Structures are given as structure tokens and as C-alpha cells.
Amino acid sequence: MKRRVAVVIRAADSARVEEAMRAALGLTLRGATVSVQVTPAQLATPLALRAAAALASFGHHVGPSAPSLSDTEVLEVWTDVGPGVTAEGAVDGAAEGAVDGAAEVRPEPEPEPDPARRVLHLLRPAAPHPRLGPSDYLVRLDDTGPVLATGHGAPFPPGPLTWPQLVTLLGLADLVVTW
């Protein structure tokens, strides 16, 4: 099945931008229409520039404008790797690929909410608050587990969720976006 996929790149680290652009290019291999939100300043390496040129030559959108949430079926937001615990148990804030003190890049404008669709926003700790549509759900991914912060019409009250409850919300959403 062909998909409409959006890739929003909010990373400042050139290695992460390259990975996002490599993924975006690869996502075209099964016929998906891909829209990439990225600024010219982020395309700072030859690999990223080549991927952008290839995508554009195939007719896919690459630029700073936000993807439409009206027809996007899958949205990947690529951010910098923040401090966290690696599989080896080390804090990865200083690991390969991490950004030392760099501010996260936030291309403008933000994706415009679509009142006709329900987006489940998953918010990592310290991630910027996204724009919400009237029927969107906002779930924080806290260290202690998921927490429903906003959920108009959700089958659960605001507050801590179990993981099975989050799976229920996944099934009720038209689109899932992790920030």
C-alpha cells in the first residue's frame, strides 16, 4: 500500500540529520509520497544535500514548510539524541552522535492541526508542546510511564495511563506523532 509519509527534522546534529535524510530517501522505495520538513541550514553535509536533491528530483517535497496533517498517514519527527541511558547502561549525553550544548532546531511553521483528524501526540520529557487540534490526545512519556495530559473525548480521564490504555488510544487515533 502506498503511503503519505512526512519526515520532520528537528535535529541540529549533522549525523542525526543525515540519518533522517537517509530514512526519508529509503521511505520512497515502496512508493510512498514523502514530504520532508528541513531548513537549508540543517542540510550541512554532502550526504544530506545529496539525499535532499535525490528526493526533490523524484518529485518529493523537501523544504522548511510544515507537512499537512490532513492527509499524512505516518509522521516521523527526528530530534537530537538527548541525555538518556544506553543499552550498555551509560548516560549517552556525551556519546557518539549526541549534541554538546546545541539547541534543537525547530523549523517553522508548526504543522497545522486538522480538526477533522485525531492526532495522538506522544511527548518526551522536555520536548516542546505541540499545537493541538480539538480532538487530539496529548500523552506525556514520563519516566514513570505514560500520562494523559489532554484527551478530548478520550475513554480515560487525564492522569497516569497504563501501557494497554495507551495502546487503546493508538487505535483511536488517525495519526501518531512522537515529539
Partner 1 sequence: MKLALVLARAADLPAACALTEAAHLAGDEVAWFAMDDAAPAVVALIAGPHPPWLGDTDVTLCATSLDRRQLAGPAGARVGSQDDHAALLAWADRTVALT
Q: Applying CB under 8 A, which residues contact partner 1?
A: 1-3, 5, 16, 19-20, 22-23, 25-32, 74-79, 81-88, 92, 95, 97, 122, 124, 141, 145, 162-164, 166-168, 170-171, 173, 176-178
| Contact indicator for 15, 97 with CB cutoff of 8 Å | yes
Taking CA atoms, 54 is separated from 2, 26, 60, 68, 78, in Å, by 19, 11, 9, 22, 19
Whichever of 83 and 128 has its CB closer to partner 1, that residue is 83
- Walk across the sheet containing 175-178 and list its strands: 159-160, 145-151, 137-142, 119-123, 175-178
Whichever of 30 and 152 has its CB closer to partner 1, that residue is 30
Tell me what percent of the chain is helix, strand and coil, each rounded to the nearest 5: 25, 25, 50
46, with CB counted inside 10 A (0-12, 13-18, 19+), is exposed
CB of 23 to partner 1, least distance (A): 6
CB of 147 to partner 1, least distance (A): 12
Amino acid identity, residue 65?
Answer: S
Round to whole Å and give the CA distance between 116 and 3.
19
CB of 56 to partner 1, least distance (A): 18
Whichever of 3 and 129 has its CB closer to partner 1, that residue is 3
Whichever of 32 and 154 has its CB closer to partner 1, that residue is 32
CB of 133 to partner 1, least distance (A): 18
CB of 27 to partner 1, least distance (A): 5
Whichever of 97 and 158 has its CB closer to partner 1, that residue is 97
